[in-house]
Structure 1
Amino acid sequence: MNHPFALALAAMFALATVGTAAEDAAVRGIPFKPDPPPAIDGRLDDWDSVPNVTVAATQAHCVYGQPKWVSAADLSARVWLAWRQEYLYLAADVTDDQHRQALRDRDLFRGDHLELYLDLTPDAPPGRDFLGAGQVQFGFSPGNFQQTGDPLADIPPQAVVFRPEQPAAGVLVAAQPTDAGYAMEAAIPWPLIGQLAAKPGLRPAQGFSLGLEVAVSDTDSQTPAQEKMLALRPEPWQRKCERLVPAALAGSDGTPPATVRSQVLLAAVEVPVGEKREIPFTAPSVPPGKELVLTFQARLDSSRPAGYTRGMRLTVNGQTLDGGRLVNWEGAEPRVNGELMSPAAGDTLNVPYSPDFDSPNQHPSYALRSGPKLCRYELRITDLVRHGGNQLILHNAAAAELKKTLVVADVRWQIREPVAPRPKRPAPTGPLPVVHPAAQHKVDYQLTRLEDGTVEIAIGGATFRVDAEFSTPEPAWVRGSNKYFDHQQEIQPCDAWILVRDRFTNRTSEDLPLMHRHRVSGRSPWKQVYLAGLSPASLVSTASEPANPTAFGAAETAGLGVLPLDDVFLVHATSFSTENQVGLADNQLVLKPGVSYTAQWAILPVASGDYFAFVNAVRRLREVNFTLDGSFAFLRADPRLGATKWSDRECADFIRFKHAQFVCSGISWPRHHGRYPHGTCFQQMDWTATKQQIARLRQLAPQAKHLKYYHCFIDTLDEACERYADARLLRSDGTHADYGQPYDRLYVPTAENTFGRDVARNVELILGPQPDGIGCDGVYWDEFEYSRYQYAYHLADRERAGLPWDGVSADIDPKTLRIARRKSSVELISQPFRLALARSILARGPLVANGQPHTRTMLQLHFPRFVETGSISRCSRAQLYSPIALGDHLTERSERDAYRVMLRALDFGCLYYWYNDLTVVPTHPHLTSYMFPSTPVELGEGYLIAKERIVTNRSGWFGWGDSASHEVHVFDDQGREVPKFQAPTVVHKEMTFTELRLPEDYSAAIVRQAGVRPPTGPPQQR
């Protein structure tokens, strides 16, 4: 039976030319997707910042039907993969000039579709059967995008499992038509992958290896048939596992592990005390420039973690391996309790006591603060092995009286790229840049209205044209008023920006879909563009990020950027660029009959191509240079571990060294039936441990303010589904949205619904005085704007209760330009509730939030809001309001790790709040001691100038453009202050500067001396 590609073309595969072996191909890193998880809705906004997109757009990528492939416009695709603990994610932006899909289930392969091949046993010996044990083949159909209401005619998106033949249980799939083809997203549960691959205990983790391929199939003829197919790897297809792309689960930056190839020697073995186990193995020929590493896990079996002892000796071909061969340790490492642990004593490795391989790394005393993982060993053996037969001996060398069994698992060799440390850049010599704010910001530009209604802007010898187009249900794109709506435009030139107001009035008696697009075009290609604060590799791109809804183009002698200003446009906006254009679009706007709406936006000409000059102008336009307090640190209140087990000195030092003005306890303890107590179940918990910790810390660090975690969109109570049925956030398919676990259900609080009323009571409990309340000084509000899904569907109508329509939002078919379905922006319908509650909190104490404002209404409420940095590029989302980066909980395992994130955040002009507590316990003061309070004046690449201080990781002459004196604090590449660092004071043109010549990974804080009057003029970089 002719099923999918891999089966239908067996004869062709058998004759295919042998390609490059998988072990010689580059390993593809599958990036971890930080919070929030992708919303599986067929829209690719969530994927803008996900790295390692693959473009399949050449004839070489066409591995079947190559003669029928015409061009990238005929068939091409951009493909992303990502992972989280719940799902493996796949997304594709497919260009297809003729979309055809008329079939379902296992016949869908004869229409347009995607296929995903997985090999979960890439280390198994070569020569295995293709699509045999440990391998899986999925198919994904985008459907036919019809919405007639006829279930026989309408084909929805669908997932199938071609091999092994089993149901695609729990797979989420969604698709949307696009101007060029279609976009598709899928989320595949890891338990299903484990079941299909006969790996029931499969758990995703960074470094997990697999083989994969993604194929994009095309059918252009009326007769359903698979005509051509593209693949990620541009090489001839073969029915061999080695043809698949070698891949590994990576961190959020998508960088794969250094392993090139590995082979399992032994799954697990137990060695009684004093005994040995011999493991014969065959070693490969190690290619030049590579090294062979022996890796394994080991522990001395114990009922609980209890420190470590000298417990293991290893020999390879009669040669003993000593601690000097370890590649994952750099000498002694500090443990959480402050003691140092050495990995070895001569030729005997130190081995932890533990019931498993994970517990020691979570222990409040025995876990390491940084560096390697306990129980994990990686040793160089290149010089000890010979090609062919070799012998490894494991010896339980623990003291006999201990009577401990040595448990060793996952023994393998790996061929790796040797990692040589790169020498760090020394301090610069010669001239330095001069950095200080300037007194005025008026931009010299000329604005001219042309006869055709467009506008020209001239600046720095460059000329730009501003025009717009609007959709009608004809379907047609038009300019100006028509029978569907009236349009009026008002343009207001200002010193440093141009304000634009486009007023639309619906002339019809029906809801009117009205997409509007605004472009600024130059006469030559941009040198560089920035969308949502990031510079894409291509000049042609789009982004949808309400926290930074900007588009900026840099020309040779000038720059020009745009951003929306009103609430609706901010939430709906897509920023875009082409070779010579930047612009804004609202592709989701609907006007009720007779209703008027004014889209407000701004054009900012910049007298240079500097993105940060544009950022600083936007910040002045938005009036967001308010004072930021800090620093901030999480410190859990868990009676089993953490601060409750620390001495008074350890607790006081934790707060002092982090310079934490805000100390926040989370909700990891206590649990509600094993779940975090999100939502209204928060009010049912016993918060005694939190109350006791606050009372203790107030005595030890009276200057600190105590905050408690709050989240308004998740509720984990099972009965909440019925109790708050009208507040449920429903996806487009009608199912109740969740945060990744089925019990982490999402709701939308409003000023009118009972969920909003009830979940607000958490705040009263948090701020209420003890003993009845928790007695906090303020609130930490997680995911302030929305949680995972920005839009809600299946809204209230005459026949059912539910969330209200926001009156302005809908999915609009890009081809018919008509409404596909109404929806509500979570930000807009919850805003009155959130605004009132935030004002109430601020009237009583401090408020800190996760996530930047998405509306002008929220911009006007000033308090610290950070961005999470699972990917450091997320700092771009903080540049237009509160430039604070939260530490990276995915990679920070020590104070040195945290310091590196501080430095990277400064690259984006951002300050830093601490995240991890138990794994990042500081031993000395850090740069954060001199970061706050800060009232931003100017952000730059590598620095932030505030009224009170300048924080930088760059060299230069730094000052405020006046004669104020400076107090300078310099920190080395380990994050320790260097008391005698030479930072001379320079007086130039009656202005005081500090001269900084910083080696790589150094930083500095220049503090303005008390009593000196700050500059009165607004900022500008020179």
Structure 2
Amino acid sequence: MKNIPCVTLVATLILGTAAAVADEAAVLGIPLKPDPPPAIDGRLDEWEAVPNVCVLDTKEHCGYSPEKWTSAADLSARVWLAWRTEYLYLAVDVTDDQHYQSLRNRTMFRGDHVELYLDLAPQSPPGRTFMGPGQVQLGFSPGNFQQTGDPLTDIPAEAVVFKPEGPGAAGVLVAAQKTDKGYALEASIPWPLLGQLVEKPDLHPATGLETGIEVAVSDTDSPTPVQEKMLTLRAQPWQKEIERLLPAVLAGSDGVPPTVVRGQDLLAAADVPVRGKQEIAFQGPTVPAGKELVLMLKARLDSPRPAGYTRGMRLLLNGQPLDGARLVNWEGPEPRVNGAMMSPAAGEMFNVPYCPDFESPNKHPSYALRSGPKLCRYELRVTDLVQPGDNQLTVDNFAAAEMNKTLVLADVRLEVREIAAPRPKRPAPTGPLPVIRPASQHKVDYRLARQKDGTAEISLGGATFRVESEFSTPEPTWVHGSNVYFDHKQQIEQHDEWIVVRDTFTNRTAENLPLMHRHRVTGETSWTKVWLAGLSPSSLVNTNSEPANPTSYGTTEKVGVGVLPLDDVFQVHVSSFSTENQVGLADNQLVLKPGVSYTAEWAILPTETADYYAFLNAMRRLRDVNFTLPGSFAFLRADPRLGATQWSDEECVDFVRFKNAHFLTGGISWPRHKGRYPHGTTFQQMDWSVSREQIARFRKLTPEVRHLKYYHCYIDTLDESPEKYADARLLRADGTHADYGKPYDRLYVPTHENRFGRDVARNVEMILGPQPGGLGCDGVYWDEFEYSRYQYAYHLAEEGRGGLPWDGVSADIDPRTLKIVRLKSAVELISQPFRLQLAESILARGPLVANGQPHTRTMLRLHFPRFVETGSISRCSLAQAYSPIALGDHLTERSELDAYRVMLRALNFGCLYYWYNDLTVVPTHPHLTSYMFPSTPIELGEGYLIARERIVTNRSGLFGWGDSSRHEVHVFDDQGCERTDFQTPTVVRDGMTFTELRLPEDYSAAILH
């Protein structure tokens, strides 16, 4: 995660309407948030992995009344921004030693609150009015965190539109939580609302969308409502000027701003009659050294429906014709989905699609391209032809006169881009190589000693680490053992590689008892590095809540110590944390019923080396997750309009062969129900005949393939479902029905007891049932196995009101009073009996593959392949603790080379790869995945995975299993093609066989055992 002390000053080129001018602000990349969308609940754990957090903790950031700012403890903040196609997201972690907010709506500005300023027309001429046309000012109040039940006293979190005046904040979601240091606030703003506010109904978010932005954190340290001071992203005095806003751009999930910064609009739209021309005059900008000027435009020949393309456009710049060699978004002919090749140009004549709009040809079953560029888009290098002063671009409609087609132009503009000189790739290493083989023994030399005060000490590699626990009571206070509220017993069990600790609590009261518990390992000196949930943050002080990899690990110069929860409840509730010299675990959400006992089980793993992967592999042995991953995986939709239904038998066979698809999975993108994906019980109403036909065809062509079908147990899209399944609705803390981002993608929780569980389980019977009634699949692909978007459900069933059951162990607990705020249920826990029984039923009949790693020990013991999505490649860390498989990145993969690069990045985390994109990534040759499976992991490492059957790596080294077995080696080059001529000498040392791999950058290898 990138931490930005907002905002570093660098020189950034910005094109105005006439000439280039320089601004001193860096361009802020607003990252795309991959699935799942943020749960707007005021809890910011999921934001820790979102890049480009902005840190506001200096006096320079206090642009308004800096003389009143005393310290970061007085007022500071961490600010995140993110986007998805539905919302713009804002998350703010505010440190504020005194919280005051007694006002509502538009008067909130006189209390503690956050403001967001947006300029959604940054290409407009300079000198505009601040917060005038094209701009939006929103306010977000955290409320006063009172919960008396009196609506006049309790002020909830809310949002308001300050500018433009008049419209309300309909659809904006905002939530806040009180924290030990201040408060945390989350908000999501619908893009349609922003489009309405700036009178741009066609505003659609996409990578590269530019905006001006500022976030202001306002503080009041007095009961008297008055705005006293304000921190902003830009470390400059506050001014109400449009130039005060920061340039920002919607980026990919890594948060890196696209190379395009700002441009010069030349023409919004025009219709050019056949054999006519459109002339565009403009002033040429000065292009700095190291940058180039790119002409961009959209063009189509108007037609009521997509109907192919023709040579229909000629471009002249200052009288000089432009040709296809100048295109930067095409590398040459591209295959269409029907198998034919399309060239973008023939010399000076550009091919232009017939279509009614600029998007439909890119979705057409015959004319769309399989991958690469988008039709109707043209991007050409023109630096050498643009001159200072007057310039003229001429666009000719060169379509045949008899066609009588109008050439429609849109979004004609100039953009300045960096000229990125290709970095030379790292050659193969010379000299000594590391020896990489599985550890020969798994015993750690440590000593454990219990202390009289109830703590314990671990001696390891000359260092001593103290182990201690503390527990909350409602007084409020923290204790270390039994008391009037609960009895406590601790059992410690030593093993060769780990120490298991069992803390048993028994509620002695007649009421539900909030009981937070924390466990920490403290070193004598500061850590050199820490890992939380498999990722190493830049700061030693951090927290994370990730049940998929619920770990905390720290290293000194020589050794390391890590911890993780073991039982179901602790793993679901887990908060892993670290400080300068501590790693630990906490459950801040535990409740015990009257008289009930519960055992929190957790483990300490010492390592004799300062190596995260030594800890990880010991943890995998503790969890017993080194089971066989049977085969490669690929999606393939069944759609009569495109894809395999249009392919020849040879193309179908090649698709399976080149992806080495052991599992071929059909989705639910077609057919649609009212334009919606048929999630949930909607699935049972659809006609799946095309899927049945495709399965039958592939069974004849590739009989070895196992066919799976998509299943999701939490989303249902039928309009009548909220009433039909009222007791299964997943309700948020505010009582509203949760959804996945669109109002019809409503969320439910299946259980054995509710009707929704019984009904949605019938999808599986339909998937596995024999044809003609069923789909006749071999198995099931289960999406979002653990939960979908919201981990907790509120407004539970009670006397006189139906709903989801309480899980008996979960609640929101006030961190200051240590008392219960409200009960809630963990979706993983209340749905687990349903999911476990259904999963076991599927596995008894065939294969099961799932999205998402286990969140409980109960599910951990059920062994089947489960991957993680890689909209951000760092999510591979979540796969390390169970089945180390990364699903391809559907956001960036547009070619088989893109896919290969994701394979390499996944190996950096010790993960294998499953194919994601189907029609946009159609390989032309076998890939590394041909030699990835089956794999029974032994050890994971940075850049490799050692399995019983094979080693897959992107690293150089001497690789082996510590035995004398023979090796079969397959090496792939930086284009993802196998190199049969690559030399891989066999080395024998002490009777053990090793393969010597000296791999240049972006090479990889599979060594078969």
Asked if 1:499 corresponds to 2:500, the answer is yes
Give the residue type in structure 2 aligned to 1:214.
Answer: V
* Shift of residue 428, structure 1, vs aligned partner: 1.2
Cα deviation per residue 1:340-361 (whole Å; 9 max; x = unaligned)? 4333322333333332222232
Find the counterpart in structure 2 of residue 772 from structure 1: 773
- Of all paired residues, the percent bearing the same amino acid is 77
CA change 1:995–1:491 in 2 (3 A) is same
Q: Is the 8 A contact 2:531 2:554 kept in 1?
A: yes
- Map residues 515-664 of structure 1 onto 2, 5 A cutoff: 515-664=516-665
Partner Cα separation in structure 1 for residue 483 and residue 76 of structure 2: 37
Q: For 1:894-905, what aligned pairs fall within 5 Å after superposition?
A: 894-905=895-906
Q: 1:671 to 1:371 in 2, by over 3 A?
A: closer
**Contact 1:22 / 1:243 at 8 angstroms: preserved in 2?**
no
1:100 partnered with 2:100: yes
1:338 to partner: Cα distance: 4.3
CA distance in 2, matches of 1:138, 1:365: 45
Cross-structure match for 1:123? 123
Cα separation, 2, equivalents of 1:691 and 1:63: 64
Task: Identify the residue that residue 955 of structure 2 maps to in structure 1.
Answer: 954
Deviations along 1:116-143, one digit per CA (max 9) or x if unpaired, are 0011100001011111111000000000
Which deviates the most, 140-149 or 675-684? 675-684
1:259-288 deviation digits (Å, cap 9, x = unpaired): 222121110112223222110112222233
- Which letter maps to 2:159? A
Q: CA deviation at 1:547?
A: 0.2
The separation in 1 between residues aligned to 2:651 and 2:618, in whole angstroms, is 44
Secondary structure of 1:661 counterpart: strand
Distance 2:353 2:526 in 1: 61
CA RMSD of aligned residues (A): 1.4
Residue 258 in 1 paired to residue 259 in 2? yes
Residue 748 to residue 907, structure 1, CA distance change in 2 (3 Å): same
Residue 752 (str. 1) matches residue 764 (str. 2): no
SS at match of 2:661: coil
Letter aligned with residue 459 of structure 1? L
- How far has the Cα of 1:308 moved from its partner? 3.2
**CA–CA separation in structure 1 for the residues paired with 2:283 and 2:525:** 61
Aligned to 1:242: 243
Say if 1:204 and 1:942 are closer, same or farther in 2 by CA, change over 3 A.
same
Deviation at 1:517, TM superposition (A): 0.8
Decide whether the 8 Å contact of 1:711 with 1:782 is kept in 2: yes
- 1:277 matched residue in structure 2: 278
Q: Secondary structure at the match of 1:48?
A: helix
| Cα displacement (A) at 1:749 | 0.5
Distance in 1, matches of 2:723 and 2:774, equals 28
Higher alpha-carbon deviation: 20-29 or 120-129: 20-29
Corresponding residue SS for 1:207: coil
Q: Does 1:56 align with 2:49?
A: no
Aligned-partner Cα distance in 2 for 1:256–1:665: 34
User: Partner of 1:793 in structure 2?
Assistant: 794
1:44 equivalenced with 2:52 (yes/no): no
Q: Give the distance between the partners of 2:414 and 2:467, measured in 1 at CA.
A: 61
C-alpha contact 1:268 1:410 (8 A) present in aligned 2 = yes
2:30 is equivalent to residue 30 of structure 1: yes
* Contact 1:22/1:244, CA 8 A, preserved across alignment: no
Q: Who is 1:315 aligned against? A: 316
Residue of structure 1 equivalent to 2:464: 463
The Cα shift of 1:895 comes to: 1.0
- Tell me whether 1:78 sits opposite 2:66 in the alignment: no
Gaps of 5+ in 1: 1-19, 1009-1022
Paired positions, count? 989
Q: Give the CA deviation at 1:339.
A: 4.2
Q: CA deviation at 1:775?
A: 0.7
> Residue 138 of structure 2 corresponds to which residue in structure 1?
138
Question: Retained in 2: the 8 A contact 1:972–1:1003?
Answer: yes
- 1:438 and 2:439 are equivalent in the alignment: yes
Q: Partners in 2 of 1:593 and 1:817 — Cα distance?
A: 17
Aligned with 1:482: secondary structure?
coil
Which residue of the partner structure matches residue 976 of structure 1? 977
Encode CA deviations 1:677-698: one digit per residue, 9 max, x unaligned: 1111211111111111111110
Counterpart in the other structure of 1:112: 112
Q: TM-score, normalised by structure 1?
A: 0.95
Equivalent pair of 2:364/2:641 in contact (CA under 8 Å):
no
Structure 1 residue 992, shift from structure 2 partner: 0.7
Given residue 441 of structure 1, which amino acid in structure 2 is its aligned partner?
Answer: H
Tell me what 2:714 maps to: 713
Q: Deviation of residue 337 (structure 1)?
A: 4.1
- Partner-residue secondary structure (3-state), 1:693: helix
The one-character-per-residue Cα deviations of 1:816-837 (angstroms, maximum 9, x if unpaired) are: 1100000000000000000000
Q: What is the CA distance between 1:239 and its match in structure 2? A: 2.2
Question: Are the counterparts in 1 of residues 337 and 642 from structure 2 also a CA contact under 8 Å?
Answer: no
Cα deviations by residue, 1:605-630 (Å, 9 ceiling, x for unpaired) = 01111111111000000000000011
How far did 1:66 drift? 0.3
- Structure 1 pair 21/145, CA: closer, same or farther in 2 (3 Å)? farther
CA distance in 1, matches of 2:740, 2:610: 40
> In the alignment, which residue of structure 1 is the partner of 2:399?
398
Counterpart in 2 of 1:861? 862
Q: Deviations over 1:684-741 (max 9, x none)?
A: 1111111111111100100001111111111111111111111110000000111111
- Which residue does 2:731 correspond to in 1? 730
Q: For residues 311 and 186 of structure 2, what CA distance do their matches in structure 1 show?
A: 51
Letter in structure 2 aligned against 1:737: A
> Matched residues in 1 for 2:263 and 2:239: separation?
22
Alignment check: 8 A CA contact 2:337 2:643 kept: no
Cα distance in 2 for residues equivalent to 1:104 and 1:21: 42
Find the counterpart in structure 1 of residue 7 from structure 2.
none
Secondary structure (helix, strand or coil) at the match of 1:140 reads strand
SS of residue paired to 1:964: coil
Q: Which residue of 2 aligns with 1:361?
A: 362
Cα shift at 1:296: 1.3
Give the distance between the partners of 2:973 and 2:375, measured in 1 at CA: 28
Shift of 1:301: 2.4
Equivalent residue letter for 1:82 = A
Write the distance in 1 (CA, Å) between the matches of 2:988 and 2:403. 70
Which structure 2 residues correspond to residues 149-160 of structure 1 after superposition, within 5 A?
A: 149-160=149-160
2:127 partner letter: G
**What amino acid is the match of 2:378?**
Y
Hey, what's the Cα distance between the residues in 2 that align with 1:620 and 1:849? 22
Query: For residue 173 of structure 2, what is the aligned residue in structure 1?
Result: 172
For 1:842 and 1:143, locate their aligned partners in 2 and report how far apart those are by CA, in whole Å: 49
Task: Tell which deviates more after alignment, 427-436 or 354-363.
Answer: 354-363
Alignment of 1:893-932 (within 5 A): 893-932=894-933
Match of 1:209 in 2: 210
Deviation at 1:498, TM superposition (A): 0.6
After TM superposition, give the deviation of residue 22 of structure 1 in Å: 7.9
SS of the residue 1:603 aligns to: strand
Aligned to 1:162: 162
For 2:89, the equivalent position in structure 1 comes to 89
Q: Is the 8 A contact 1:544 1:575 kept in 2?
A: yes
Superposed CA deviations along residues 620-668 of structure 1, whole A, max 9, x for unmatched, are 0000000001111111111111111111111111111111111111111
Contact 2:28 2:249 in 1 (8 A): yes
Superposed displacement of residue 430, structure 1: 1.2
**Distance across 2 between alignment mates of 1:329 and 1:677:** 36
Structure 2 residue matching 1:696: 3-state secondary structure: helix
In structure 2, how many angstroms separate the alpha carbons of the residues matched to 1:569 and 1:849?
Answer: 23
| Letter of the 1:456 counterpart | E
State the 1:839 CA deviation.
0.3
CA contact (8 A) 2:63 2:231 kept: yes
Distance 1:118 1:246 in 2: 10
Separation in structure 2 between the aligned mates of residue 455 and residue 534 of structure 1, nearest angstrom = 27
Alpha-carbon distance in 1 for matches of 2:214, 2:282: 31
* Native 8 Å contact 2:371 2:919 kept in 1: no
Q: C-alpha separation between the residues in 1 aligned to 2:174 and 2:384?
A: 50
Provide Cα deviations, 1:12-71, integer angstroms capped at 9, x if missing partner. Answer: xxxxxxxx9884422111111111111111101221211111111111110101000001
Residue type of the alignment partner of 2:234:
R
CA distance in 2, matches of 1:193, 1:275: 38
Alignment of 1:297 with 2:298, yes or no, is yes
CA distance in 2, matches of 1:540, 1:666: 42
SS at match of 2:49: coil
CA distance in 1, matches of 2:580, 2:312: 63
Structure 2 segments unaligned to the other structure (5+ residues): 1-19
- Which one-letter code corresponds to 1:491 in the other structure? I
Identify the range of structure 1 (560-569 vs 232-241) with the bigger mean alpha-carbon deviation.
Answer: 232-241
Measure the CA separation in 1 of the matches of 2:130 and 2:64.
Answer: 18
